[in-house]
Structure 1
Amino acid sequence: MMFSGIIPYRYAKKILNRYPIGSSYLSFNENMVALSLLSIHYHHSLKLSEVSIDLPRGEFLEGVLSEAGIAESVIYVKEYPWIYDFLEEKELSIEEFVTFHANLYEQKKTAFSLTSIHAVYDQLQEKGIPSMFMVQSIPTLKEGLEKATTLAELNQSKNSQVAAVCFKNTENENIKQFAKSIQAKVISSDSGLQLVLSNRGVLQTLILNQKLAGFFNEMITINGKSSIGIGYGYTVKEAESHSLTAMDFADKKPGEGAVYLLDEEKKLTGPLFQNEERYSLKNEDPLVKKLSSELKMSSKNLSRFLYFLQVIEFRPFSSHQLADYFSISRRSAERMIKKLLDQQLLQVAGEEQPYEQGRPRSLYQAGSKLKGLR
């Protein structure tokens, strides 16, 4: 599934997360800004100071002007960089952007509006304000479609994987009932534990839609400390092995019981249906091992940090965001950041002003060495 931009993708993401469907969106880039400014200059012969512009990040505009050697600056620019931060709950106000452009035009400060938001463009047109929606180039569209096609093929391959569910301290009758409910098969593993074999696409859809949460929780309640491990793999043996590893983690979880999942890339997620965390158990990269030794940080935590960077798409982040992701104190997050700064793995990217009253927060971004571990 491909979206026309970051805005529709962001608002559809919550629903998409409930289904094992690959999705992508057309990226906003400097090429869109350059083509749009060229069109405005050619068709309307306007100065940049006569145009109001909204776009996700001002750096796209600054980059185009700098590379083109244009000294003239754009006076009226409105950004919405938070749109890329999927950890932040914030609504995009169409009216706010329409008002921004309309007020400037009505006050005769501008003669034209360039917007990156189609709903804003529609309203500006209704008001009779000269405006234009950012130009999307054919090469960018083709690249986006190729990416979506590749993602769909990969997703289809993943959905056909074997899924194994392993149970410990669970009554056989409960396991059979679970297998019957998803039309799956029960077998015994080499270790003597009961396994339910199914298809990843089927099981993942049920998990994402919370269809199994009540069933598993009821099973854990009935059987006491029941541990459940789910494994994905390209073969039955691989899926079984991963389910047993996941069950070991579930077994070590304090409390009455838990459910963990390990996929074909050895990424562990759990406890499912609770405060889920996801991190990699695969630490074969010698550079990761070397860095963890230099930082005096476990390979697991370093892998989790690298996954955090991937989640935020290597954008600048604050210690507050890192603390939330790791479920640790702000002070602990700052200590982790200091270690990475001392090794020049991170660099200071600037500051952000909190929406509430308070001091500005420092922002950090990955250095080239960390980006190389993607």
Structure 2
Amino acid sequence: MSTKIAVLCSKAFKKRILSIAQNIDDIQLEFYLYNQPTDAPSMLKQIKPCDALLIGGTLPYLHAQSLLEKFPIPWNYIKQDETAISTTLLSLIANHAISLEKVSIDVMNPVFVDNVLADIEYSGPKPYVYPISIAEAPNDILQKHLKLWQTKNIDFVITSIHTVFDELQVLNIPAMRVLDATGSIIQCLEETKSQSLLTKSESVKAAVGLLDIPENNDFNSLILNHITAATHSTYKQITPLYYELYTTAGHLQNAFEKENMQKLLQQIEQPFKLAFGYGHSIFEAAQNAKYALEFAKPFEVYILDEHKNLLGPFPNSEAKISLKTNDPYILEMAKQTNLSPANISKIINFSRERQSSQFTSHNLSEYLQVSRRTTERIIKKLVDRGYAKAVGEEMPHQQGRPRTIYELNFATY
């Protein structure tokens, strides 16, 4: 299955990356185009289910940086560096008979230009170089170039900002954009694809839990059922008061990011100890769970990963993600589809937890813990309003009708 990458970039960069991406196997690009780099933070909320995110430039990345810390999928951005500057200057020399001293250029870091000129042992007059940052509006950079042009100090402009280039074109001022080298773009796409594949492999590694309930009473089965449902676990009873749970690291991580799991642990009044271990095998994960259980006190949960890093005690050691149902985006979807805000929130979280953007009614039914008929009615409402679409069919292993494969068609981040 191909890796689906959301690309957040300008219209001009879309053309560039499309011409290059055909050199990489098993990737699918879906574009989200901004008019200004400042649009990047708001556009993150428009991204539909995918495997990874690629941002086409340092400037939009800087604008979105604070939001990316909690972004639920792997992300990467195309960085401006000396290779981009040297490629651009080579293009200038090859295609335009202009001296460097008659050029103005805006870049993320002026040191890049200095390093390139030093590497080629250039000793002549240097170009005018302006640094750019998120603190300075693109129009301010444009005005600096225009001032040099109007005073006849320059004959050419090189810019890192696509909107500045467009304005210069309108004014008939000779200009070009900083060129990202083909090799750099290919490398960045390959890195983004690899990050996605690594995240998927990490999320499906084994996780084994050990649940120790000191006292035997009527609440034991209730505690067990709640915890196994929240972590998508199966279990084996070792003794009347001791259970072994089996799940994956991805399910476990998502469980501890949910507010309902946090509330569950806090509402259990009967003492219990719970520990999980990660591992590349069931045996390794079980051993790590045993080590983690030694640290747990009543009402505490610990996780020991395959690198022997101890996480916890939960639920109080880390901030949790709250699934709010007063979000106007969710409320509008609920109104359009006739589904409850709670169901919309669950469907969004279902998409975030899956390692594929595609799913069947069986997958969603298992997650929502409702009947297949109820799930099919939910999907039909989503499809009828354009919030989901059928993209193929899956043949069952045994005899039976093919299952329809769906994709959600709305932003889930």
* TM-score normalised to structure 2 length: 0.52
Paired residue type of 1:34? S
Contact 2:107–2:129 (Cα < 8 Å) also in 1: no
Aligned partner of 2:100 among 48, 55, 58: 48
* 1:51-86 deviation per Cα after TM superposition (whole angstroms, max 9, x unaligned): 232223222222111110012333332144xxxxxx
1:242 to 262, 274, 288: 288
TM-score when normalising by structure 1? 0.56
- 8 Å contact kept, 1:167–1:228: yes
Structure 2 residue corresponding to 1:151, chosen from 189, 192, 195: 195
Q: Cα distance 1:275–1:65, how it changes in 2: closer, same or farther (>3 A)?
A: farther
Does the residue aligned with 1:223 lie in a helix, a strand or coil?
coil
Residue 163 in 1 paired to residue 204 in 2? no
Structure 1 counterpart of 2:87, one-letter code = L
Q: Which amino acid in the other structure matches residue 111 of structure 2?
A: E
> Following the alignment from structure 2 to structure 1, what is the Cα–Cα distance between the partners of residues 271 and 102?
69
Matched, 1:133 2:177: yes
Unaligned runs of 5+ in 2: 1-51, 320-413
Task: Quote the residue 1:265 is aligned against.
Answer: 307
Q: Distance in 2 between matches of 1:274 and 1:93?
A: 42
Q: In 1, distance between residues paired with 2:155 and 2:90? A: 16
Matched, 1:179 2:225: no
> Partner of 2:247 in structure 1?
198
Deviation of 1:124 (Å): 4.1
Aligned residue pairs total: 260
Cα displacement string for residues 24-61 of structure 1 (whole angstroms, at most 9, x for unaligned residues): 33343312101101222333333333323222322222
Q: Does the 8 Å CA contact 1:159/1:199 hold for their aligned counterparts?
A: yes
Alignment CA distance shift 1:54-1:276 (3 Å): farther
* Aligned residues: CA RMSD: 3.8
Per the TM alignment, residue 157 of structure 1 is displaced from its structure 2 partner at its CA by 2.0
Compare CA radii of gyration and give the structure with the larger one: 2
Aligned residues of 2:300 and 2:315 also touching (Cα < 8 A): no
Kindly indicate whether the alpha-carbon contact (under 8 Å) linking 1:174 and 1:219 is maintained by their aligned counterparts in 2.
no
| Counterpart for residue 368 of structure 1 | none
Contact 1:219 1:226 in 2 (8 A): no
Residues 32 and 180 of structure 1: CA distance in aligned 2, closer, same or farther (over 3 Å): same
Query: Contact 2:110–2:129 (CA<8 Å) still a contact in 1?
Result: no
Cα distance, 1:276–1:180 mapped onto 2, change above 3 Å:
closer
Matched residues in 2 for 1:153 and 1:68: separation?
39
Matched, 1:4 2:56: yes
Percentage identity across aligned positions?
A: 24
Q: For the structure 1 residues 205 and 220, does the alpha-carbon distance in structure 2 shift closer, same or farther, using more than 3 Å as the test?
A: closer
On the 8 A contact 2:145/2:157 being kept in 1, the answer is yes
Q: State the alpha-carbon separation in 1 of the partners of residues 239 and 261 from structure 2.
A: 26
Provide the C-alpha distance between the structure 2 equivalents of 1:65 and 1:151, rounded to a whole number of angstroms. Answer: 34
Structure 1 unmatched ranges of 5 or more: 81-89, 278-374
Equivalent of 1:220 in 257, 260, 266:
266
